[in-house]
A and B are shown apart, each in its own frame.
Chain A
């Protein structure tokens, strides 16, 4: 998933993997649209910053068609003191240059 140009590494919630796999099985175009957004986030994790609200505090979201990719950039999480929302048990071992893929909000239509 990581692009050679990006120093960022991936960390996936298993449920995120499951969601992406299921979407790709159902609809390859939707799946590749999500992967394209993920690649763009990895290449430029500080572009287009849009945090969730309420229960989604501390996680960022990016639109991929009718889906929303929810993720965390570890360095940003530390700087903004978002640990209280994300609660990663491996925080101390995880490098700043990591993108944590949290979940996909599927097929919202607004």
Chain B
């Protein structure tokens, strides 16, 4: 089932927070896409184990271990709107603004943030090869490890409502404010308007076009 807008807002905020935390606490200065996939996988797995609904990504096993297409798509959007650098996935100053402006949401959801911090503490600083070794060796099902799973085995998926003990807390308004920052179309429209304001292209009632002359 497709994620709701609320779930997308939470997922993207948590991914951004994970990267922000990994870089700002000097755990790393470069994160490959594959490594991000594994860090999010580890965080989401911990959350689901304790029935906490934070991340909502669907993970399957691929050649390099757990992979989520939705995470891949979200990351592409974060890059496109200028919150994360394409190379090395370092969050930009604009990402810092988001973390700062949504500090109360982050603090309100301390238990969820702890999972992310814990993952970064353990794994953000290790090499991708080491991280993959750790993940492949993790047990999954009876007597099996992740390495043993056939390709495309479903691994994690969003929790069903009845299984949830605790859920990331965010209001509709906060989710809306976040999605405005994550939607490339919205961001492009703001960039264009700001450029028009910056270059003196604004129009008054007298000079406006047909659209507003009523």
Interface size counted on chain B using CB atoms at 8 A? 39
Tell me the nearest residue of chain B to A88, going by C-beta.
B197
Q: Say whether A103 contacts B193, CB under 8 Å.
A: yes
- Chief secondary structure at chain B's binding surface: helix
Q: Say whether B193 contacts A16, CB under 8 Å.
A: yes
Partner of B5, one of A12, A55, A109: A109
Nearest chain A CB to B160 CB, angstrom units = 22
Q: Say whether B177 contacts A89, CB under 8 Å.
A: no
Indicate the size class of the contact surface on chain A: 35 or more
Tell me the nearest residue of chain B to A11, going by C-beta.
B202
Specify which chain A residues have a CB less than 8 angstroms from the CB of B186 in the assembled complex: 105
Q: Say whether B177 contacts A17, CB under 8 Å.
A: no
- Chief secondary structure at chain A's binding surface: mixed
Q: Say whether B172 contacts A55, CB under 8 Å.
A: no
A73 at the interface (CB under 8 A from B): no
Cα–Cα distance between A61 and B24 once the two chains are bound (Å): 31
B94 at the interface (CB under 8 A from A): yes
Residues of B whose CB lies within 8 Å of any CB of A are: 5-6, 81, 94, 97-98, 101-102, 172, 175-181, 186-187, 189-190, 192-194, 196-205, 208-212, 214
